[in-house]
Copies of this chain bind each other. A is one copy, B any other.
Amino acid sequence: MKEFDLIGRYFADGGHQRKDVIIGIGDDCAVTSVPSNQQLAITTDTLVSGVHFLRDSPARSVAYKAVAVNLSDLAAMGAEPAWISLSLSMSEVDEAWLEEFVKGLYELTRYYSVQLIGGDTVRGPLAMTITAQGFIPPDVALKRSTAKPGDWIYVTGTTGDAGAGLALLKGELSAKENDEAYLVKRHLYPTPRVAVGTALRRIASSCIDVSDGLLADLNHILALSSCGATVHVDRLPVSSALFSTVGAQDAYRYALTAGDDYELIFTVNEEQRGNLETSLASTGVKATCIGQVTGHKGKVDLKLYDDPYVLSDKVGYEHEF
């Protein structure tokens, strides 16, 4: 057996076992069963060492994040996660690293009842590609292209934290111990908003997750929906840790432009706002209304209270570590 086939042994049990997995890891393919009343949502994301995570990131974080960003894409579509496949490229077999990696992987998949159904392990620079699949009933997928002028814009949780966490890890910022721990954790162990995603089915008019930064990702919705927006910077949900670390002005900058928070941005029309409140209550996750979709295609008006807000340089989060 080749050295790299051995790596497969670390993943052999697939973690959480699902009844809809007919054949799991170990054959040419996995075989699974999709409920007859559901469609399949499929997403693929790759993380490369030194590009998408710091070279010295803990293995547990790397795996956790690789799963989280994929589950976040499912959540942004309103899908319920089911299975993942993992392709792992490593330059050498490092057993201690692998053990921690498996720990991080199964931590998140067990929590969300997701089964690892297969993959590949190859020799190469450290990188991993996960394909995640989930279920969604017909005609309820949350798209980017279906926001309408007048819809309210919401964002879950707080944004900017992960970007500040990264800056702390790179030594570009300093913070009080508790704040640093919180912000770094937001960068290393992001929470995919899985329950919110399914709660938004039939309620949100569009949805996307925050990977590139709030403004950049909102712009994806606006571009595909041929709309514009007014965003009230003073209403942005900012954590007290971020606020006390960088101050108000920079907190807005982080909240608007830093990436990797994996919160959801979504739009809701006026009639659905009541349903939204009820539906979100069941998830225990707070969402904040930060503005409104307009008909001014391609134009985003930032406001601080009643004045126009001019964004200074963005945090410059360009996936270049």
Contacts and interface: CB of A to CB of B under 8 A. Distances in A.
Interface of A: 2, 22-23, 26-34, 36, 39-48, 51-52, 73-74, 76-77, 79, 83, 85-87, 89, 117-120, 122-125, 127, 129, 131, 133-134, 136, 138, 141, 143-145, 207-209, 224, 318-319
B125 A44 contact: no
B28 A77 contact: yes
A43 B26 CA distance: 11
Contacts of A145: 27
Given A89-B48, A117-B42, A127-B127, A29 B122 contact: no
A73 B131 contact: no
Contacts of A46: 87, 89, 120, 122, 124, 129
Contacts of A79: 29, 31
Contact of A208 (B28, B34, B85): B28
A44 B118 contact: yes
Nearest to A212: B2
B51 A40 contact: no
A39 B39 CA distance: 13
A136 B44 CA distance: 22
A291 to B, nearest CB: 21
Given A39-B22, A44-B87, A141-B23, A28 B209 contact: yes
A85 B42 CA distance: 8
Given A89-B127, A123-B51, A141 B42 contact: no
A26 B73 CA distance: 12
B122 A51 contact: yes
A29 B42 contact: yes
Given A87-B46, A136-B31, A52 B122 contact: yes
11 contacts: A26-B224, A28-B209, A29-B79, A34-B40, A43-B118, A44-B129, A46-B129, A51-B122, A51-B123, A124-B125, A129-B129
B22 A30 contact: no
Given A122-B48, A143-B23, A28 B87 contact: no
Nearest to A206: B27
Given A29-B141, A44-B120, 4 more contacts: A2-B319, A28-B43, A43-B85, A51-B123
A29 B48 contact: no
A189 to B, nearest CB: 21
B127 A124 contact: yes
Contacts of A119: 44
Contacts of A209: 28
